Structure 1
C-alpha cells in the first residue's frame, strides 16, 4: 500500500452558477488578496497544503486574472491542459 499521499493538491473554488447568485466584485477579490490570501499562503505552505504562494490566490492576482474571475471564470485556463473527468 502506498502511504506517500498525494503528490499534488489543487485547492479550487467551486461555485454553482445560478441566476440568483451574485458574482464576486473586484473589491471583494482585492480584499481577499490583501487580507486573507497572505495568511492562508503562509499557513498552507508551512503544512505542505500548497506548493506555491500563487495557489493561495484562487481568484488571480494580476489584473487580467481578476477580470476573468469577475466573469466567473475562476479556473482560468487550467482545464484546457488538465481535463476533468468528474461526473
Structure 2
C-alpha cells in the first residue's frame, strides 16, 4: 500500500521512462469527496507547483519533453519501470 502521495519529482521520475500514467487519482478523489472541486484543486495545485521547478531546470516545457536523460539518479528511474 502506498504510504504517501507522489511528489512532483516522483512524477517526473516516473514520466522519464515514458510512463503512461502516474498514480495520483486516489488523492484527487479523496480531495473531491471531501469538499468537491475545491478539494480536488487543493490536491492538484501542490503537485503542479512541485513539478514546475524540476521541469524548468532542464528547460522542458511539457511532460512529453521529459526523457530518462532528465533524471540524474538512473536507479530511481529503473524503480518505475515494470
TM-score by length of 1: 0.29
Bigger-Rg structure (1/2)? 1
Relative contact order: is structure 1 or structure 2 higher (C-alpha 8 Å, sep ≥ 6)?
2
TM-score by length of 2: 0.30
